[in-house]
Amino acid sequence: MAIAEVTIIPIGTGSTSLSSYVVDLQHVLEQQKNIQYTLTSMSTIIEGSLDDIFTAIRAIHEAPFQMDAQRVSTSIKIDDRRDKESSSAQKLRSVQEKLSQ
């Protein structure tokens, strides 16, 4: 399973507030299949197969244009570990275990 961190920034919206766009992106993600996602204060974490992640990213990249954004900047960071199963929760547990030693 791959993990992607995605930040979508609509530009040309006429406002500095982005929360309505974030809400819309979360609704778009609710419609995506075979992924898990977590909203953070600065980005969204998406977990799933690469194909499903890229499908979800494409959908959320397009969403601000439907809300009249004139430009969209999308930043993507992907962690694709193939030697064993991985998840955001597993990665956090691993660090927390090491911190407690």
pLDDT, one tens digit per residue, over 30-44 is: 999 999 999 999 999
φ, ψ for residue 92 (rounded to 5)?
Answer: -65, -45
pLDDT digits (tens, 9 = 90+) for 58-95: 999 999 999 989 999 999 999 998 898 888 888 888 89
pLDDT digits (tens, 9 = 90+) for 71-80: 999 999 999 9
Contact in structure between 37 and 44 (CB atoms under 8 Å): yes
Contact in structure between 35 and 53 (CB atoms under 8 Å): yes
From residue 51, alpha-carbon distances to 13, 48, 96 in Å are 30, 8, 30
Contact in structure between 22 and 96 (CB atoms under 8 Å): no
Contact in structure between 22 and 69 (CB atoms under 8 Å): no
pLDDT in the model for residue 91: 86
